[in-house]
């Protein structure tokens, strides 16, 4: 890697090292500006905070420091975080958008992504959805031979699509059948998969399809999202590339071969956190319980399947300052540990750390009407008091996009923040509150909007 290519990574590492200090400063700024308290009936003291500097640094590293060809079209998975204000960060940074439904496609177009920088993937596109995408020149991957037949009929009915500049960008999704990772629900490259055409079972049909339809000019490969060794991903890519022997035109450099990538969680998860005020505390069965306003409605995977998607929980005081021991909550602490356990603090008799922070085994409970609605269970955390703030890390992806309507709770606002520690901006006082700039990326949902949802005519 050249010195120039190393600059994005250097900035990214600096921001990651100050992650918890940065998000705590953002929380303090939001409290100071009154964004987390409104004197209206339907206001809930919960928000999602997104580190815009960290997102931009991650994008810069992906595009300019990770070794991809310069003309690679990197796309953000809209399903990870469909918030318009978040997607515009990627649009302005020159990235594309990967969509998996008509709603996501419409959102990408609404935000302003050019059609040729959107990739449409879905195993259940209707004929109308296919026509909508192809008519606008959206690169589209077909999932099966029946869908290919639909697309072929549409192309035959619209020869003008082939005559426009750039023609069509249409591909087939291939399942390389190389095996699954440690999370079955996120592994798409096993022998049995709902996605794509099984390579080992229909290789000849695949070759025949590309020969019969010259407008087929893309290949889509996805082995899985998480819990996969790199070697399995490489093996999957290698199997698909073997098709070049049978369909060399797909890999002809004179036709402008281009690599496209799709990333979601890796671009967004660590840039976001959910913050929610502690409303009440109590004791039950000898254990302290703190009740806040965020739960399984926002953090569905983590609450329902904590063994697979564990949460990292932190506690801040009423001003937004971290309550963790300095050895745990200082620079870089945002990337340590797991669950709700505070490690690194020197705990002594009486539950006090060497920093004088009182630690206690606690549950952090959400607001929903079922017992499993917990952000942390029997976790060693700084003692929560009414008015403190619970902070759930790694929540920048698959949070609002998977939110539940259970108990008819309003979804929170999303704020982006920039400046602050390790960003090049000056920091002064109260966790750098004055150095942080906040901007609204999405407004909060009102009670009337919840009622509108349940009473659509």
Residue 252 to residue 166: CA distance in whole angstroms: 16
Cα 51 to Cα 36, 56, 57, 62, 407: the distances in Å are: 17, 9, 10, 17, 29
DSSP assignment letter at 319: T
Q: Is 273 a catalytic residue?
A: no
What φ, ψ does residue 170 adopt, rounded to 5°? -135, 135
Residue 95 to residue 266: CA distance in whole angstroms: 15
Beta bridge partners of 51: 417
Residue 364 to residue 385: CA distance in whole angstroms: 11
What tokens were used for 19? 């992650």
- Tell me the Cα Rg of the chain: 24
Strands ordered across the beta sheet of 280-284: 280-284, 287-291, 359-365, 374-382
- Long-range contacts of range 229-234, CB-CB < 8 Å, 24 or more positions apart? 229/181, 232/178, 232/179, 232/181, 232/189
- From the candidates 273, 292, 369, 384, give the one annotated as an active-site residue: 369
Q: Vertex 205, ends 202 and 209: CA angle to 5°?
A: 135
Q: Write out the DSSP string of 336-405.
A: S--TT---SS-B-TTSBBTT-PBEEEEEEE-SSSSTT-EEEEEEEEEPP-TT-EEEE-S-SSSSGGG---
The helix (H) or strand (E) run that includes residue 140 is strand 140-142
Length of the chain counted residue by residue: 457
Residue 181 to residue 187: CA distance in whole angstroms: 6
| Residues carrying an active site annotation | 369
């Amino acid at each position: 890697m050249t010195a120039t290519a190393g600059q994005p990574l250097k900035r990214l590492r600096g921001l990651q090292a100050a992650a918890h200090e940065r998000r705590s400063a953002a929380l303090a700024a939001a409290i100071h500006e009154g964004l987390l308290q409104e004197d209206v009936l339907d206001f809930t003291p919960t928000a999602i905070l997104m580190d815009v500097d960290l997102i931009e640094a991650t994008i810069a590293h992906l595009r300019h420091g990770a070794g991809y060809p310069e003309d690679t079209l990197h796309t953000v998975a809209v399903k990870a975080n469909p918030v318009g204000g978040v997607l515009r960060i990627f649009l302005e940074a020159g990235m594309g958008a990967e969509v998996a439904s008509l709603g996501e496609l419409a959102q990408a177009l609404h935000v302003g992504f050019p059609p040729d920088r959107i990739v449409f993937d879905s195993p259940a596109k209707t004929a109308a959805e296919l026509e909508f995408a192809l008519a606008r020149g959206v690169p589209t991957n077909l999932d099966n031979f029946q869908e290919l037949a639909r697309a072929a009929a549409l192309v035959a009915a619209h020869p003008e699509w082939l005559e426009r500049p750039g023609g069509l960008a249409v591909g087939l999704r291939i399942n390389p059948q190389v095996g699954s990772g440690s999370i079955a629900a996120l592994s798409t490259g096993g022998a049995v998969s709902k996605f794509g055409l099984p390579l080992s079972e229909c290789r000849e049909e695949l070759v025949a399809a590309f020969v019969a339809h010259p407008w087929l000019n893309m290949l889509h490969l996805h082995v899985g999202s998480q819990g996969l060794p790199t070697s399995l991903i490489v093996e999957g890519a290698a199997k698909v590339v073997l098709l070049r022997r049978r369909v060399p035109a797909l890999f002809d450099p004179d036709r402008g071969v281009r690599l496209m990538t799709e990333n979601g969680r890796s671009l967004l998860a660590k840039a976001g956190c959910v913050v929610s005020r502690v409303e009440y505390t109590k004791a039950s069965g000898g254990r302290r319980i703190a009740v806040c306003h965020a739960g399984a409605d926002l953090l569905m995977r983590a609450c329902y399947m904590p063994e697979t998607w564990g949460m990292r929980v932190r506690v801040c005081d009423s001003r937004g300052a971290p309550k963790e021991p300095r050895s745990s909550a200082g620079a870089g602490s945002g990337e340590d540990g797991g669950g709700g356990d505070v490690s690194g603090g020197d705990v002594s008799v009486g539950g006090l750390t060497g920093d004088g922070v009182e630690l206690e085994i606690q549950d952090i409970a959400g607001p929903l009407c079922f017992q499993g609605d917990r952000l942390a269970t029997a976790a060693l955390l700084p003692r929560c008091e009414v008015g403190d703030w619970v902070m759930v890390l790694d929540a920048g992806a698959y949070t609002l996009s998977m939110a539940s309507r259970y108990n008819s709770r309003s979804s929170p606002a999303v704020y982006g923040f920039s400046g602050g520690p390790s960003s090049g901006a000056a920091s002064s006082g109260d966790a750098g509150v004055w150095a942080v700039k906040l901007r609204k990326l999405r407004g909060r949902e009102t009670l009337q909007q919840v009622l509108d949802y349940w009473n659509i005519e």
